[in-house]
Amino acid sequence: MKDTLKHRGMRNKLADILSKKGIADLNVLNAIKTIPRHLFMDSSFEGHAYQDKAFPIAADQTISQPYTVAFQTELLQVKSNQKILEIGTGSGYQTAVLLHLKAKVYTIERQLELFKKTSLFFQKMGYRPKKAIFGDGYKGMPKEAPFDGIIVTAGAPEVPKPLMAQLKIGGKLVIPVGVNDQIMTLFVRKSEKEFEKKEFGSFRFVPLLENKN
């Protein structure tokens, strides 16, 4: 598959749709206009890649809906050179959005098949997260902590404590919390012990699964 003018046109339309749905951050909209989402998906979905919908990827997982990606990214308020941890690499699309915003990205995926596939894809495309690892995102990445931002891209039945602990003071955790559907939740670390919590709309994600081994 290639990236063509036609794809670019479809991306511009998608960015317009997201802007009408309330996404205001121009850097985020610009990422949507730039990143070739169709290349992150199976070729059979190429014709649908610029609809505002989630689609299946490998290992029974999904590439998140563009609106969801944009909404979560907007909440993070990423600035150049910030250290951002992503839980749930999946297709790598959200990773690419964070890289477009010039973040230093650390990302974790617990499905081996997806981890391998997406790591190869990153190499092929020249996307360079600081670290992309196979592991359990519940634990975060203690060796690289603290982070300016942490984004969880799977539905978390509860907020993993290690993720709270790995935030800088002033850092933000964006996490969809819930079992069947999830409330998008933003935590801002105010001090060692205090977190401010804000809740946003309801979303639906594949579950964040804990490794039992």
Chain contacts with ligand SAH (rule: CB under 6 A) = 61-64, 87-88, 90-91, 93-94, 108-111, 114, 136-138, 153-154, 206, 208-210
Residue 191 beta carbon to ligand SAH: minimum distance, rounded to whole angstroms = 28
Q: Is 191 a catalytic residue?
A: no
Tokens encoding 135: 């592991």
The active-site residue out of 19, 43, 44, 64 is 64
Residue 149 beta carbon to ligand SAH: minimum distance, rounded to whole angstroms = 14
In the complex with ligand SAH, the residue whose CB is nearer, 127 or 138, is: 138
In the complex with ligand SAH, the residue whose CB is nearer, 35 or 167, is: 35
In the complex with ligand SAH, the residue whose CB is nearer, 193 or 212, is: 212
In the complex with ligand SAH, the residue whose CB is nearer, 5 or 39, is: 39
Residue 194 beta carbon to ligand SAH: minimum distance, rounded to whole angstroms = 26
Contacts 24+ apart (CB under 8 A), 113-116: 113/58, 113/59, 114/57, 114/58, 114/59, 114/61, 114/89, 114/90, 115/89
Longest CA–CA span in the chain (Å) reads 50
Q: Using an 8 Å Cβ cutoff, are 58 and 113 in contact?
A: yes
Q: Using an 8 Å Cβ cutoff, are 3 and 36 in contact?
A: yes
Residue 73 beta carbon to ligand SAH: minimum distance, rounded to whole angstroms = 11
> Distance between CA atoms of 125 and 91, rounded to whole angstroms?
13
Three-class SS state of 126: coil
Active site residues: 64
